[in-house]
Amino acid sequence: MPFFKKNKQLIPYFSKEAWRYFMQFFDGQRRKLIFVSIGSTLQAALIIPILLLVRYIFDVAIPEKDIKVLVFIGIAIILIRLANSGATLFLRKINIGIVTTAIYKFRKKLVQKLYSLSRTFFTHEDQRILHARIVQDSERIMLMSNALVSRLIPAILISIGLCVILLVLNWYLFLAILVFFPVIFLANRFMGKIVKKRVFAYQRAFEGFSRGIMFILKFLDLIKTQSAETVENQKQIETLKELREKTARRTYFFSVNGQVQAFLISISGIMVIVIGGISVINGMMTIGGFFAFYIAANHLQTNINIITDTFALVVTGNESLVTLYDIASKKETGPYTGTAKVDFIEGLVLQSVMFNYTGKPVLTDLSLQLYPGDRVAIIGANGAGKSTIIHLILGFYAPQSGKISVDGIPFSEVDFPHFRKHIGVVSQQPLLISDSIRNNINYGNEWASEKDVLTVSKMALAHDFIEKLPGAYDTQIGEDGILLSGGECQKIAIARALLRRPKLLILDEPTNHLDSPAVKKIMQNIDNIDYSPAILIISHDTAVIQHAHKIFVLEEGNLKLLNHQARASKT
């Protein structure tokens, strides 16, 4: 990929790979594109009868003072222009369908790519920038595509047709115009390099602005609690100053480029008037022929203006395309792509597992077995690797060595979207969506009945407080559950995990925000679940871990058994 280098920044200029990737989304619409191209070319032919009629007006009708013919010709020209407008709208509608379908496929592919990327990728990326790029850059690509398909391509085809017509009307006058085409092209190419740099700088500055606003919205409480308003406000002011500077430069150079193109095109128009006028004076062409040529040249100038005007959108869209292609072509996919559908019938085994983050050892030679009906608790210091064990079980990461299997099938062969349907997870910081309580409980389990939601809500001790809310289960909880207390959020998370009747229930510090009586009652309810799931408990709360059959301590990357008691029998 060619790059410009400035201020130690690599600025992408053009990527064949990115464009080849993007063009695949137009597959299946090639016939429509061909039809539109032919239609646009035929549109240029509609000007021929107009030119002939104009020439007849000035060469015949006016000299003969034939008012009736003038009126009929005027009506005929209006009807032709009306037909041209109708054809333009018809072709534009097809163009819009082509572009919106392609952009839909493009965005769909990007969304699917997000699901396939590894957790490591997201931990290293600034998600606010990632959000801005995917949303805003895909919109810029849509604007570029509309400009290309609906304006640029038709304008190019019509311009070619007009060039042929002008050549037939008066070849030497056309050559006078043609002289300026290379000048316009070279000027456009030179200015394009400058504009691309400005566009790239502007887009990066805009991402900084977007990131700053998202930070304020997400961490406003922290900013106020830490009395950091002044510091954060100054940061945003500096970001806004940079955005203002980059916006001004980009906009100014767009204007400069537009004026350069307009100036060169206007010179060609003046050349037509001067040379055409001389030709008429010398008897080399008629007044009617001159006016016909001038009208055709005007149409050509209009289409050339369209071509140059779409330049800004194409430049901006190209930068966005290169940026998003970088995401689409990432190789950091999730660790597992198997297809074996397992249901956690025989259990899960971690054998001699070793895992590290960027070279820092976390787990070393760790082994663990989880079978249906097991109650296993793991305790350990913060940072010992307890959450890492959960991430390995969920398939977010793969160990550097060792084996993990479920129902005797290696993780490398497992279909994880299917396997995770049998896992319920309650994390110490519940992830809740900005929606109703009901939709948070049945998220991922939309098939669940109202009775199922009520049952698990009662098990999680959530039903009583939900019923007291003005909207009950339809109450909106706000971003990250901000309208609820920590304990209420925890109860909703527990209800959500239980709703799918998981065969493996993972409780990661599930009672952080709950009082002792609530913890005791919820754990008793979980113990009495009729389908006996395997339960993995990560906690320091003795009221929770006492429900385990096995208690391990995680030290130096290994699990050491502290306590082992027989499973309680079901009556």
* Same domain assignment for residues 281 and 414: no
Whether residue 283 sits in one domain with residue 136: yes
Q: Which residues of 111-132 are buried (b: 16+ CB within 10 A; e: fewer)?
A: eebeeebbeebeeeeeebebeb
Give domain status of residue 8, yes or no. no
**Does residue 342 lie in a domain region?**
no
Domain CATH for 531: 3.40.50.300
Classify residue 345 by its DSSP letter. S
CATH number of the domain enclosing 214? 1.20.1560.10
Which of these three, 328, 356, 374, is where a domain ends? 328
Distance, CA of 194 to CA of 252 (rounded, Å):
11
How, if at all, do strands 360-370 and 348-357 pair? antiparallel
| Integer Rg of the chain from CA | 35
Considering its fold, how many domains does the chain have in total? 2
Same domain, 319 and 208: yes
Per-residue model confidence (pLDDT) at position 404: 92
Helix 516-527 with 486-499: angle, nearest 10 deg? 0
Inside any domain, residue 339: no
Q: Do the strands 375-380 and 401-406 form a parallel or antiparallel pair, or are they unpaired?
A: unpaired
Q: Are residues 67 and 130 in the same domain?
A: yes
Pair 460, 495: CB distance under 8 Å: yes
- The C-alpha atoms of residue 266 and residue 96 are separated, in whole angstroms, by 31
Question: Mind listing the pLDDT tens digit for each residue in 511-554?
Answer: 777 778 888 888 888 888 888 889 998 888 777 788 888 899 88
> Do 251 and 398 sit in the same domain of this protein?
no
Q: What is the pLDDT of residues 354-376, one digit of tens each?
A: 988 877 788 888 899 999 989 99
Torsion of CA 239, 245, 250, 251, to 10 degrees: 110
My answer on whether 396 and 278 are in the same domain is: no
Contact 202, 247 (CB under 8 A): yes
Exposure string of 383-414, with b = 16+ CB inside 10 Å and e = fewer, is: ebbbbbbbebbbbbbbbeebebbbbebebeeb
Nearest residue to 255 (alpha-carbon basis) of 182, 181, 198:
198
Same domain, 46 and 162: yes
Do 300 and 169 meet the contact criterion of CB atoms below 8 Å apart? no
Does the residue 6 lie in any domain? no
Q: Within a domain: residue 43?
A: yes
Looking at the structure, tell me whether residues 310 and 362 fall in a common domain.
no
Q: Is residue 5 part of a domain?
A: no
If asked whether residues 302 and 445 sit together in one domain, one would say: no
Asked if residue 173 and residue 114 are part of one domain, the reply reads yes
One domain, residues 259 and 310: yes
Same domain, yes or no, for 58 and 188? Answer: yes
The one-letter amino acid code at 37 reads S
Last residue within a domain, chosen from 328, 356, 388? 328
Range of the domain at 311: 15-328
- The reply to whether 95 falls in a domain is yes
Task: Return the pLDDT at 11.
Answer: 45
> What pLDDT shows up at residue 568?
45
Task: Tell whether 114 is covered by a domain.
Answer: yes
Task: With a cut of 50, list the residues of the chain below it in pLDDT.
Answer: 1-12, 568-571
